[in-house]
Chain A
Amino acid sequence: MPIDRTSCHAMRALRARRAAGLVALAAVVGPGLLAGLSDDDAPGITTYSILGADYGYRLLWVLLLSTVALVLFHEIGARLGVVTGQGLAGLIRERYGVRWAAISLLALLIANVGTTCAEFAGVAAAMELAGVSRVVSVPVAALAVSLLVLRGSFRRIERLLLALSTVFVAYVASGLLAGPDWSATARGLVVPGIPASRAALLAATATVGTTLAPWGLAFIQSYAVDKRLKPEDLRYERIDVITGAVLTGVIGLFVVVACAATLHAEGRSINDARDAAVALDPLAGGLAATLFGGGLLGASLLAASILPLSTAYSVSEALGDESALDDRFADAPVFYITYGFVVVVSAGFALVPAAPLVPILFLSQVLNAVLLLPLLVFVHRIARDPEVMGEHANGRVASLVVVTAIALIALCVASLGVLSAI
């Protein structure tokens, strides 16, 4: 029958198109997923834990909006990389000159040193759960990640660290087992409870800063460039970005819910890693601290490996001193000096004997939110510039959404500043 034959051909063509689409998607996947999931690092988990432990379900809407902003800006970051073939700092230099590039680089450098410091604090906190002093764990971790990254064997253990950090998926199970109040969860997500106190605003700002971190923004753009993605890949890259961001948001949601159902319900706050591990009790019971420590260590080491490297690449690119890992020191001094600076200063801060680890993990993310603002303004201006982006430039509606997101983050930071000054 002709009709059957036609529909058979149509089905085959549809299947072939789907298969081709899946292959194209598989080739593109990476930047969005890794940049998104990397937000669930040690400071990220700590911040979400504090949000749930101290404020229950009330500030979940901040996490929801931060995840929406993550989708928005990571999509723009990937698009900037694909269309221009350049990293963020280099692109800022090309469009706005060396002074603005220097200012944005400084913001990125400070934010990245703060977050790397938080990663080493995560290593210290995880190892202190096992009774190992930070005086031993932090220098060993700094030396180990530097050797692994600079000697080029990082790729070999990257998967192991990634696998270790997926322990945090345990929060999904723990959140479900803890018997959370789902109606309060839904209410917290859609009804904005105003964070009126300084502490609540700090938690909200840190949530924004950890979900949409400056380093993630620079990282996704560079990664899209390195993958040599083309404008025709953008459709699939959007799926990659949305998947990464939604997974981050979902894990973050369950961290908050698990902490709200356990710590907040008992009126407990988080003062150290052992407190934070309590949220995994419903799943792991007596093994909660071990599970939490393992995940914290893996996530911290992974991010502590990527962050100094990403910073060194950004600085080298913007200063016009392109470098790669196989260059000798004499050929790439800016690259290696930047890498060493980030590792030594960050590890040094985490090593200070009296330095409180949880506040370092938490407050570094507040700093992220503050330093994020100038970078977002540049991202917005470049993304809407048709001379740079051509047909891929943001239109009026997209620009309005971006400006609204930047204004909300600025409002959050400004309110924190005002409340801190009073």
Chain B
Amino acid sequence: MPLLTDLLGLDMIDHRGRPAGRLHDLVVTADPEHPPIVGAVLRGERQARPVAAAFDLAAPAIAEGEGVDGLWLARDVLDTQVYDIGGHRISRVGDVVLDLSQGVLTVSGVEAGIAPVLRRLGLVRASRRARGRTLAWSELHPLSKRGHSLVLAADPERAHGHLAAAHAHRPHLLSRHARPPSA
């Protein structure tokens, strides 16, 4: 399965096949199950552009059209704190797990724990022995729309009850599990 951090930095092409720039971020819609990638942010740019209807990992392309809104995966999700339903910190998002099926790139979950950190630091061999686990995107829910006021929760209503007062202004992710099981 492709990982967000593997894609960041890829050269992207425009709809005519010409180099457009390097991939800086991917943008998804607010779909609670498998949000599709709808936009890409190129390095040096501040607005997301729509991606081609059929996403090709070998030659990712942007499409023509207006800027798109949504959740920026690198900016808003990657390295964000994961909380359980009781508001206890349990981990951080080490990577975002994607799924490419019939040309549609979607988010399937997030990888948490130390393994993705070691891999991103280039310590690939050590990362294979380290702890890590994947949380399905469907287990995580955003409580706010963007950036560092993003909160994801297993059950938005319950999570709001536990956390709204204490953490609403904070960047968190919530998981259904109280603690990640050891790998």
* Partner-B contacts on A (CB < 8 A): 83-86, 90, 93-94, 97-99, 101-102, 228, 230-231, 317, 319-322, 330-331, 333-334, 387-388, 390
Contacts and interface: CB of A to CB of B under 8 A. Distances in A.
A322 B91 contact: yes
Contact of B148 (A93, A330, A331, A388): A388
Nearest to B131: A321
Nearest to B113: A320
A330 B182 contact: yes
B79 A98 contact: yes
Nearest to B166: A228
B170 A84 contact: yes
A84 B82 CA distance: 13
A322 B89 CA distance: 7
Contact of B114 (A86, A320, A330): A320
A98 B121 contact: yes
A99 B8 CA distance: 15
A85 B167 contact: yes
A386 to B, nearest CB: 10
B81 A94 contact: yes
A228 B79 CA distance: 22
A52 B172 CA distance: 48
A331 B91 contact: no
A235 B112 CA distance: 36
Contacts of B148: 94, 387-388
Interface residues of B, number: 29
Interface in B123-139: 131
A99 B92 contact: no
B121 A230 contact: no
A331 B114 contact: no
Contact of B169 (A93, A321, A330, A390): A390
Q: Which 7 A-B pairs have the closest CB atoms?
A: A320-B92, A85-B170, A320-B91, A94-B79, A322-B89, A319-B114, A98-B120
Contacts, number: 66
B117 interface: yes
Nearest to A231: B169
B89 to A, nearest CB: 5
18 contacts: A83-B169, A84-B171, A85-B170, A85-B172, A86-B170, A94-B79, A94-B148, A94-B171, A98-B121, A230-B166, A317-B89, A319-B92, A319-B117, A320-B114, A321-B114, A322-B89, A322-B90, A331-B182
A83 B171 CA distance: 10
Nearest to A316: B114
B39 interface: no
B80 interface: yes
A86 B117 contact: no
Given A320-B91, A320-B113, A334-B114, 14 more contacts: A83-B169, A85-B167, A86-B170, A94-B79, A94-B171, A97-B78, A98-B79, A98-B121, A99-B120, A101-B79, A319-B117, A320-B92, A320-B93, A321-B91
Contacts of A330: 182
Nearest to B172: A85
A86 B131 contact: no
A317 B114 CA distance: 10
Nearest to B91: A320
A86 B81 contact: yes
B91 to A, nearest CB: 5
Contacts of A228: 166
A378 to B, nearest CB: 14
B94 interface: yes
B113 A321 contact: yes
A79 to B, nearest CB: 13
